[in-house]
């Protein structure tokens, strides 16, 4: 977790940060939860998770924890400060401000139309290449940056253990995860429907959680994007690529198994390099993906068709 403070008066003191409840951790509660999960959750037992007093003491140490206190700021929390005059700080805080007009009276027989202008110019300092150069220079100067502490690989969101691993307080027993292996037939429910059902329950703890809906709905959107992807290529290459794929089918399956185990492996043999060249000629195209330009055009065409068939609606 990373917390970014933006301001003019300098870096906030640790006493001020310790007064912010979302950043605080109770050492006693963490220990109780960990012991419960290890003893009662089968997913934690199968993953060989064990309670470590040393790791907990290291987590609850440092300037964020006062001696003898149970509640404090964990040592794994990244705290950074950004001066307000910095260009990045201005970009973070910039936005449309509708308060400039002040309070004024509008006659009853007149309507107020607010006019907003947008500039199509792009600052040269925010370009892609310049951003890469600035980021590289920042690292070479040994300046601080956020690093992933546990490892470099992301946890798959389609894993049945995702709910109890990411939100152990919502699924402490490990029995309500997405894509549960015990479900079959009519009992199978998609992640989208299950997320919606959990959020719509009466007095739902899932609805009150500040991160559950955001994390799970992003996973649903990513899954829809993966399912809507299609391979496309030029019509003149279609027959040739189909024959090549059919001929090297065994190599493709073997490479798929290797990539599933290690996504950084590279082709080694002549056949694998041949398959890599074939895959490079295929393009991925998203079909009917929510938020994409194609989806917007499809919805626009539907609206035009309805207007042409039924006429323009009158709104009062």
Burial 123-159 (b: 16+ CB within 10 A, else e): eeeeeeeeeeeeeeeeeeeeeeeeeeeeeeeeeebee
Spatial separation of the C-alpha atoms in residues 158 and 144, rounded to whole Å: 33
Both tokens assigned to 209: 């959680």
Between the alpha carbon of residue 49 and those of residues 34, 35, 40, 248, the distances in Å are 9, 10, 12, 42
Mean pLDDT of 44-73: 89
Report the candidate in 13, 11, 9 with the shortest Cα–Cα distance to residue 64.
13
Q: What is the DSSP letter of 186?
A: G
pLDDT above 70 for 129:
no
pLDDT above 60 for 125:
no
Both tokens assigned to 76: 């794994």
> Of 110-114, 118-122, 250-254, where does the model show the most confidence?
250-254
Residue bearing the bigger pLDDT, 168 or 130 = 168
**pLDDT tens per residue, range 268-304:** 888 888 888 888 877 766 666 777 777 788 888 999 9
Q: Residues 198, 215: contact at Cβ < 8 Å?
A: no
- Mean pLDDT lowest among 29-38, 66-75, 126-135, 200-209: 126-135
pLDDT above 70 for 136:
yes
Sorted by where each begins, the domain ranges of the chain are 2-78, 162-226, 234-281
> What count of Cα atoms within 13 Å lies in the side-chain half-sphere of residue 190?
9
**pLDDT tens per residue, range 245-270:** 888 888 888 888 888 777 778 888 88
Residue bearing the bigger pLDDT, 152 or 89 = 152
* pLDDT given at position 110: 54
Q: Residues 215, 165: contact at Cβ < 8 Å?
A: no
Count Cβ atoms within 10 A of the Cβ of residue 49 and give its class: 0-12 exposed, 13-18 middle, 19 or more buried: middle
Global pTM reads 0.59
Residue 161 CB coordination number (10 Å) = 21
Residue 258, H or E segment? helix 249-261
Residue 173, H or E segment? none
Count Cβ atoms within 10 A of the Cβ of residue 62 and give its class: 0-12 exposed, 13-18 middle, 19 or more buried: middle
* pLDDT given at position 67: 84
Q: What is the mean pLDDT of the chain?
A: 79
Residue 102, H or E segment? none
Spatial separation of the C-alpha atoms in residues 229 and 232, rounded to whole Å: 10
51 band by pLDDT with thresholds 50, 70 and 90? very high
117 band by pLDDT with thresholds 50, 70 and 90? very low
Burial 243-267 (b: 16+ CB within 10 A, else e): ebbeebeebbeebeeeeeeeeeeeb
Report the candidate in 224, 106, 99 with the shortest Cα–Cα distance to residue 157.
224
Instruction: State the Cα torsion 198-199-200-202 to the nearest 10°.
Output: 80
Q: What is the DSSP letter of 312?
A: P
* pLDDT given at position 104: 47
């Amino acid at each position: 977790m990373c917390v970014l403070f933006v301001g003019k008066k300098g870096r906030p003191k640790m006493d001020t940060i310790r007064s912010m409840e979302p950043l605080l951790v109770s050492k006693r509660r963490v220990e109780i939860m960990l012991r419960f999960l290890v003893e009662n959750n089968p997913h934690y037992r199968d993953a060989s998770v064990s309670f470590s007093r040393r790791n907990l003491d290291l987590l609850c140490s440092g300037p964020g924890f006062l001696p003898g206190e149970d509640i404090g700021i964990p040592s794994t929390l990244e705290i950074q400060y950004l001066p307000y005059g910095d260009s990045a700080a201005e970009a973070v805080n910039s936005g449309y401000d509708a308060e400039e007009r002040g309070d004024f009276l509008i006659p009853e027989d007149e309507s107020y139309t607010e006019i907003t202008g947008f500039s199509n110019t792009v600052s040269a300092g925010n370009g892609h290449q310049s951003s890469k150069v600035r980021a590289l220079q920042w690292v070479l100067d040994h300046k601080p940056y956020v690093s992933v502490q546990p490892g470099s690989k992301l946890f798959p969101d389609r894993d049945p253990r995702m709910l109890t691993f990411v939100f152990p307080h919502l699924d402490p027993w490990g029995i309500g995860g997405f894509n549960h292996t015990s479900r079959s037939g009519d009992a199978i429910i998609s992640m989208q429907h299950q997320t919606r059902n959990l959020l719509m329950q009466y007095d739902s703890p899932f609805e009150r959680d500040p991160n559950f809906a955001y994390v799970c709905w992003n996973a649903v959107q990513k899954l829809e994007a993966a399912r809507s992807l299609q391979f496309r290529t030029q019509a003149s290459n279609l027959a040739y690529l189909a024959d090549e794929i059919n001929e090297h089918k065994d190599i493709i399956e073997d490479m798929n198994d290797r990539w599933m185990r290690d996504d950084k492996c590279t082709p080694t043999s002549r056949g694998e390099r041949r398959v890599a060249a074939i895959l490079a000629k295929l393009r991925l195209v998203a079909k009917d993906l929510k938020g994409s330009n194609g989806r917007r055009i499809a919805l626009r065409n539907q609206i035009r068709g309805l207007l042409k068939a039924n006429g323009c609606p009158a709104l009062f």
